[in-house]
Chain A
Amino acid sequence: MPSGRNRGQFKGGGKRNENNRIYSNPLPVLFHDVSPRPVRSLLSFVGLSLAKIESPECEGLFDPVTRSVWVINPQDSTILWRRGFFGKGDLSRSEPSWLARQKSQRKSTHLTSEEVRERRRLERKQFKLDRAQAIAAVAAEAEAIFAAEGRVITPALSGPSIPSAATWKPTRVPEEQPNTEAPIAPEPVAEDEDELEDLEHLQLTLSEAFFLIWNFDCLTVWDSVTHELMSVESLWNTFQQVHLQPPIPDAPLQPLQLDNPFLINYMAYQHYRALGWVVRGGLKFCVDYLLYKRGPVFAHAEFALVICPVYEDPADQKSSRTNLQNATPFSWTWLSTINRVNTQVQKTLVLVYVTIPSKSRVPVDALHTPAVLSYFSVREVVVRRFIPSRMRD
């Protein structure tokens, strides 16, 4: 059997190396060190560096309606996704791939992750139909035997004649079908392809946007309504204001509160990003955030975070106008549900307790700068179900 060193450009090691090359920068900023090697090693021994920082100057637009920052420049969007997995395409699963999917609908080329997912779902649907048919056939056979001989057989729900997930294989459908039966005629589409506008954008959450601005200064944000440049200070205040009132133009400013959802989410986001994790949203798994070691393209997330805000002073909670999620202890059934969902997908559930300082401890105007974060603290508790009969170690 000839060993396939060049089995295919994108099989096995090829795809991994390709990903290692494309996603090699974990942060949007790049470091260039042009000093000679001996100088570099001598300085690094002492903990110094002459590296120059190159920061991509990305631009974003703040949208109060969706409470997010939009990146509409394709180059900026690619940079932010590839260097650190920031943002999400608003019409895609993760990376903005809507335009690629539209183009590949017209001709079959390299599949995007959404198309792989669709194919998997169709195959699973077919498997379920086949299995149901097989079970019905076995039941009908048992009925026939009873009618003919009076012998009672319980129809089996598994066995050699009934497909199981491990043994079922999809029947190969001839490849010409999608092209010949395509509802869109090929000629008019050839012209449309050049004029096909990208209706998608990269959407950054407020936490991601502020993290990039404050720590790396690689993003400038403009207000989408007034078209003015927003300073770091005004961004900090605006990001809190959007959670205190609906996006009505010219609404009066509300007094800032310590239990603002933006502060709590940002605290947790900053904490884990600073530790080197890639933090993404966890809506699909009933949790707040997912932690990836390197990124979604490399491996599945290991940890699922649920943020539980805790008030240092219970009186603050009673007087609060904000209805914070998970601020009251949740029931065991809910905890079991979330744990079960995440155990099924092999993720470990982590409860992240963010402590909201009491109002008496914090000066009134501290909320207007990120310095207020120093009053918050983050603790984590890992939850794992313990089954005494099975876990004896």
Chain B
Amino acid sequence: MFAPDTHPSNEALDALITKYPETSGCLFQVYNDILYAQSWTDVRVVDLGLLLRGAVKGRRDTDTDTVYVVPCALAESLSYAWLQNAFKALEDPAEIYLGISADDSSIVYYKLSAGIVKPPV
């Protein structure tokens, strides 16, 4: 078990934690969950200047497409303009995931698609 200052994810996240301190907690939690608990591959962080936070991108084990996860904290209020900026900052992907994190380290993910999507089955 690692302490906060010796955690292995610090290397990848330190730059963004220093640059965007307000959203550093949710980025840290979402990054660890995606990399270690959900076991995605090719996990990288992306700087989203428009939203003043870092985002996580990677591939789920069953797919080959890169997917983006934008972290946010439960206490934040999001507006439609914020969501539009998220899509714009990530260069208009078909869908993004929103990772909402709480203080107790629970995370819920929401999938947001640009436009109407028919249910799969």
Contacts and interface: CB of A to CB of B under 8 A. Distances in A.
- A interacts with B: yes
Given A74-B1, A91-B32, A68 B37 contact: no
B103 A205 contact: yes
A200 interface: yes
Contacts of B25: 65-67, 247
A353 B21 CA distance: 32
Interface string B78-110: 000000000000000000000010111111100
A247 B2 CA distance: 20
B15 to A, nearest CB: 14
B72 to A, nearest CB: 12
Interface in A336-352: none
A90 B105 contact: yes
B8 A225 contact: no
A67 B2 contact: no
Interface in A124-144: 128-129, 131-132
Contacts of A232: none
A375 B91 CA distance: 51
B22 A246 contact: yes
Interface residues of B, number: 29
A247 B32 contact: no
B75 A325 contact: yes
A224 B106 CA distance: 22
A203 B75 CA distance: 19
A92 B36 CA distance: 10
A91 B5 CA distance: 18
B64 interface: no
Contact of A201 (B1, B8, B28, B103): B1
B37 A92 contact: yes
A224 B4 contact: yes
A281 B3 contact: no
Contact of B1 (A63, A66, A72): A72
Given A74-B1, A98-B37, A129-B121, A199 B29 contact: no
B1 A248 contact: no
Interface string A187-217: 0000000000111110101101000000000
A178 B63 CA distance: 19
A323 B77 contact: yes
Nearest to A251: B21
B82 to A, nearest CB: 15
B67 interface: no
Given A246-B22, A281-B104, 10 more contacts: A65-B24, A65-B28, A66-B29, A70-B3, A77-B1, A89-B105, A131-B121, A199-B2, A281-B102, A281-B103
19 contacts: A66-B103, A67-B103, A70-B3, A72-B3, A87-B104, A90-B33, A91-B33, A92-B37, A128-B121, A199-B32, A200-B36, A205-B103, A208-B104, A224-B4, A225-B5, A247-B25, A248-B21, A281-B104, A283-B108
Q: Which 9 A/B pairs are nearest by Cβ-Cβ distance?
A: A72-B1, A63-B4, A281-B104, A90-B105, A246-B21, A224-B4, A91-B37, A132-B121, A246-B22
Interface of B: 1-5, 8, 17, 21-22, 24-25, 28-29, 32-33, 36-37, 74-75, 77, 100, 102-108, 121
